Amino acid sequence: MIRFDSVTKTYDDGTTAVDELSLEIPGGRITVLVGPSGCGKTTSLRMINRMVEPTSGRILIDGEDVSDRPAAQLRRSIGYVIQQAGLFPHRTVLSNVMTVPRLLGWDRARARAAATEAIEKAGLTAQQAGRYPSQLSGGQQQRVGVARALASGPQIVLMDEPYSAVDPIVRAELQDELRRLQGELGITVVLVTHDIDEALSLGDMVAVMRYGGHLAQFATPAELLARPADDFVASFVGKDRGYRALGFADVAVSPRPERTVRLGEAVPAGSGWVLAVDDAGRPLGWADARSWGGPLTESRVRRFGTIARLGESARLLLDAALSSPSRRGVVVDEHGAVVGTVLADDVLDALDARST
């Protein structure tokens, strides 16, 4: 656990970047600091590893004041990832990732073994390990940054806008991996972003900060969407927060039975939209049999619509229904086989039932 205890940071030029911040960041979770540009996120993050020293107040890691430890030693025990990855251009990926183990005084073989493992965990190949950072794409560089932060097995990893320089697809991929890694390793992640979507999708807890370094609200994403503390949080969280909140809402919807058709099976004309499945019962797509009939061929099947898994959030169920050409959202089990379909109304009714 990382505790901010009335922490204030006023820079030499008189700017108060963080004002009386008190915050308890839970261990073994992802906590996101989010807020508009210049609100003091980076300053807050950097006070944890003493890259910035607070003007007043204390920061405690598991009850121990960070200022009691020599700064360099403290930093070696905390992973740090920044936006452009901050990789050393003059060192290969492997040697970049070996940095902290070497600083900790591990011998070369042990450092190399730890680095190799971290590189693999971060989703990079052994071949990439021998390259220089400039020979990697932005997304790959970011992976190296993560590997470097994890190599010595720190309990805490700080990340400052780690994904803001990569394209949305790579970003989603890297976010997924962060969640996976965090779960696997049980580490405490403190991540800074100005992207509320990233905050809501990654954070177990989200601290919304406002300009002048004030904490506006500290809550779970669901809580933030359902009960924003004030107008600032409400507007920062965004206009479609009602819809987004569904992403955190578990609803009891039982899918309706859906007749499925395999390729080659005859479909009577006028059957409407029919759901095509493979031999394992996994959805292939919808076929339009409103005016057409005959044996189902692959070319008749269109992959329309998103697919929701049983027990997923109301948002995904609703999205499956709304994106389906038949307006029936496909629901699958854990093996990916079709369980049935839901209508948007089913989801809305279930939500109503839940709130009354």
Partner 1 sequence: MGGVAWAELGALMLRHLYLAGVPLLVGLAVSLPLGWLASRVRWLGPPLIAGTGLMYTIPSLALFILLPLVLGTQILDDANVLVAMTIYAVALLTRTVADGFTSVPGHVRQAATAMGYGELRRVVAVDLPLAVPVVAAGLRVAAVSNVSMVSVAALIGVSQLGSLFTDGFNRNAMGPIVVGVMASVVLALLLDATIALLARLLTPWLRRGVPA
Ligand X SMILES: Nc1ncnc2c1ncn2[C@@H]1O[C@H](COP(=O)(O)OP(=O)(O)OP(=O)(O)O)[C@@H](O)[C@H]1O
Binding site for partner 1 (CB under 8 A): 49, 51, 72-76, 80, 82-91, 99-100, 103, 131-132, 134-137, 148, 158
In the complex with ligand X, which residue's Cβ is closer, 40 or 340? Answer: 40
Choose between 106 and 163: whose C-beta lies nearer to ligand X. Answer: 163
* Binding test (CB under 6 A) with ligand X, winner from 7, 21, 34, 43: 43
11 binds, among partner 1, ligand X, Mg ion, none (CB under 5 to 8 A by kind): ligand X
Q: How far is the CB of 157 from partner 1 (least distance, A)?
A: 11
Place of tokens 């910035």: 52
Which partner from the list ligand X, partner 1, Mg ion, none does 328 bind, CB cut-off 5 to 8 Å by kind?
none
Segment contacting ligand X (CB under 6 A): 41-49, 117-125, 138-146, 257-265? 41-49
38 binds, among partner 1, Mg ion, ligand X, none (CB under 5 to 8 A by kind): ligand X
Please answer whether residues 54 and 9 qualify as being in contact, where contact means their C-beta atoms are separated by less than 8 angstroms: yes
Are the C-beta atoms of residues 101 and 151 closer than 8 Å to each other? yes
Nearest to ligand X of 15, 254 (CB atom): 15
Give the DSSP H or E segment for 117.
helix 108-121
Q: Are 258 and 313 in contact (CB under 8 A)?
A: no
3-class SS of residue 82: coil
CB of residue 73 to ligand X, shortest distance in Å: 23
DSSP codes of every residue in 303-320: --S-EEETT--HHHHHHH
**39 touches ligand X (CB under 6 A):** yes
Say how many residues touch Mg ion, by CB under 5 A: 1
Place of tokens 């190399």: 112
43 binding Mg ion? (CB under 5 A): no
Name which position in 6, 15, 56, 135 contacts ligand X (CB under 6 A). Answer: 15
- Burial zone of 156 (CB within 10 Å; 0-12 exposed, 13-18 middle, 19+ buried): buried
CB of 18 to ligand X, least distance (A): 7
Residue 198 in contact with residue 163, Cβ under 8 Å?
yes
Q: In angstroms, what is the minimal distance from the CB of 103 to partner 1?
A: 5
List 42, 142, 193, 326, residue binding Mg ion (CB under 5 A)? 42
Regarding 14 and contact with ligand X (CB under 6 A), the answer is no
At residue 166, what is the residue type?
Answer: V
- Binding characters for ligand X, 144-183, by CB under 6 A (x = yes): ----------------------------------------
3-state secondary structure of 19: strand
How many Å is the Cα radius of gyration of the chain? 25
For CA atoms 97, 2, 19, 220, the dihedral sign is: positive
Q: Nearer to Mg ion by C-beta: 30 or 45?
A: 45
Select the residue interacting with ligand X from 41, 102, 241, 300 (CB under 6 A).
41
DSSP SS3 for 321: helix
DSSP 250-298: ----PPBP--EEETT-EE-TT-EEEEEE-TTS-EEEEEEESS--EE--G
Nearer to Mg ion by Cβ, of 17 and 245: the residue is 17
73 contact choice in partner 1, Mg ion, ligand X, none (CB below 5 to 8 Å, kind-dependent)? partner 1
Q: Could you say whether residue 221 binds ligand X (CB under 6 A)?
A: no
Nearer residue to Mg ion within complex by CB, 193 or 326: 193
Long-range residue pairs from 7-12, CB within 8 A, at least 24 positions apart, any chain: 7/44, 7/47, 7/54, 7/56, 7/57, 7/58, 7/59, 8/54, 8/55, 8/56, 8/57, 8/213, 9/40, 9/43, 9/44, 9/47, 9/52, 9/54, 9/55, 9/213, 10/55
- Rounded CA separation 265/243 (Å): 39
One residue of 2, 7, 30, 42 binding ligand X per CB under 6 A: 42
Shortest Cβ distance from residue 202 to Mg ion (Å)? 16
For ligand X, the binding residues (CB under 6 A) are: 11, 13, 15, 17, 35, 37-43, 194
